[in-house]
Every structure is written in structure tokens, then in C-alpha cells.
Amino acid sequence: MKKSDRRFFLKSSGLLLGGLLISRLGVSQPLSRTARFKLKLDLRNVNFFFTGNLNFKQHLDVAVAPLLQNMSGVYLDAGNFTEQSKTKTMHRVAQMNAFGYQAAALGKHEMAIGEDNLLRLAKSCDFTLVNSLTTWRNPELSNWIKPFQLVEIADKNVAVLATAPMCPSNQEVVILTSLAKQLKKEQQCDLAICLVPNGLKKKELLELVRESGGIDVFFCVATDAPKDAIYILRNKDKKEATLIYGGKEAIELGHYAANMKTAGYVLPNRIACCPPKNPIHWS
């Protein structure tokens, strides 16, 4: 694995507890491939940047990079970054590797390529592919596609979870909630983020936030809503959770800047959506 200015990827850091945790939840097989990202960022202003549906955009460096000049942070993707062309997919993965992404969810395009191709894709990524709800037929996939990713920022831990590209069932919301809460308790996570691939309607997304617990930030790149929006809602535990989502035209970038020196709920310094310069209707 390569070093970059944003993070140092550790292939094996002994996250045995995380593997046992997921096994108990019945979400996945125990993890034999574990990883952490360590970043050196200013805890008073930690930037989280969210992308998604990159396969509909021209190039990552054209669509997103100009928005992030001189900005360091945690880079996460909500899925749909693969193309029908293997060459184009490998080019985008190389861009995401170079850009310093820490994790990506699996959108419907990634889920549709089959488990053998998905395994090859996972092995080509320097970032972690995350899906918190799917059980794989191929046991090797459980070592490469993980139910959560931990990102260490100084002495703080951030948990990254992800749904599948469809509305989760009530039981799956319970699994997400249990996972987030146990990561906060057993891994001392200060912030839990859930990536939601394109596929949910606005109403379903709002219900997911309100019926869940333990998750602080939700990001979905596109919905059936007329335009993008940002909400701070109360979840099932009556605690605040931030929701950033795009509308039918999706968004180029979601941004959540937090002061992680504070204890408890991470109050955002800034929340923003960047709409596309040239609107496109996503399929």
C-alpha cells in the first residue's frame, strides 16, 4: 500500500474485536483482513467530503478536485463509481486511490457486476469497500468488503458504515443501529457516519434517520426530491443526526466540517451541498 498526504493505510491493525462484533450480529463472517486509516488533521475543524454516482460524471479530477483545492480531510464515496468498461473503472479506481479516499459504499452498479468481479474490484482499491448489511456467498469477499471502517484522527475514532442501494428493512435498521452503538462503546468511536447509495426515496431516507440510533451523519448523493437539502433530525433515541442528500440532479459534493475536540455530539462547524454546474438527471 502507498503513503499519501492524507492518510497512511495499515493493512493489518488487529481489529479482532470488530470482526467478532460483526460475527455476533450475523452480518458477515469474521474479518481476517482488517484496516485502519490514520490521519493528521486539525481536530478543531475536521472536514468530511462525500461523493457518489461518479460514473455519471466526466472525471473525478474535473468534477470534484477543483472544489477541494487546498482542502484536506476524510474522503468517502456513496457508491456507483464503476463503469461498464473495465478500463474506465480501473482508471476511476486509480483516481480515487490517488485522491486519498478512505472508504466507499457499494451502489447498484457495483452490486450488479457479480461477486467474482466485485472481489477483483476490492483488491484493486486502496480504500475500503463497505457494506454493513450484505452476506456474501463467496467467503473471501468478507475479508475484502467490510461491514464498517474505522478512521483514526489523532486520538479520535470515526466509524463508517453503509447500507445497500435499496430501502433497508426494519430488521436491517436494527442491525445498523446495533452496529453503530457497539462501535461507539467497544471501539470508543466519537462519530458514526452512514453512506447511503442512490436508490432510496426522500421519504424512505428520512424514515431511516428517524428510526435508527447511534449514527450521527447520513449521506445520500441523490433521491427523488426536487433538490438537495440538509436536515438535522431526531433519531429514535431522540438524539440529533445530520442528513445530507441530493435531489434528482444529485450533488457533486457533500461537506461536513466538525469540531472533534468537543465531547459527545459532534456539532458541525459547516454543512454544505455543492450542486452540479451542468445538471444531469440520474438513472
Predicted structure pTM score? 0.84
pLDDT at res. 279: 41
**Over the chain, what is the mean pLDDT?**
81
* Residue 31 confidence (pLDDT) above 50: no
Between the alpha carbon of residue 182 and those of residues 131, 210, 258, the distances in Å are 17, 19, 22
What residue type is assigned to position 190 of the chain?
D
- Please state the rounded mean pLDDT for residues 92-109: 92
Lowest mean pLDDT among 26-30, 63-67, 214-218, 219-223: 26-30
Asked if 173 contacts 194 with a C-beta cutoff of 8 angstroms, the reply is: no
pLDDT at res. 215: 96
pLDDT at res. 266: 59
- The tens digit of pLDDT for each residue in 175-197 reads 999 999 999 999 999 999 999 99
Residue for cell digits 468488503?
Answer: 145
Q: Higher model confidence: residue 155 or residue 119?
A: 119
Q: Higher model confidence: residue 61 or residue 234?
A: 234
114: left (phi over 0), alpha (psi -120 to 50) or beta: left
Asked if 33 contacts 143 with a C-beta cutoff of 8 angstroms, the reply is: yes
- Estimate to the nearest angstrom the gap between the alpha carbon of 253 and the chain centroid: 13
20-274 CATH fold: Purple Acid Phosphatase; chain A, domain 2 (3.60.21)
- The tens digit of pLDDT for each residue in 50-96 reads 999 988 765 677 767 777 766 778 999 999 999 888 898 998 999 89
Q: Where are the beta strands (DSSP E) in the chain?
A: 8-10, 36-39, 46-51, 74-77, 101-105, 128-130, 145-146, 149-153, 156-162, 191-196, 217-220, 229-234, 240-245, 253-258, 268-274
Lowest mean pLDDT among 129-143, 220-234, 257-271: 257-271
Q: Higher model confidence: residue 125 or residue 249?
A: 125
Between the alpha carbon of residue 36 and those of residues 22, 98, 225, 237, the distances in Å are 16, 17, 35, 29
Return the closest-CA partner of residue 256 out of 74, 60, 7.
74
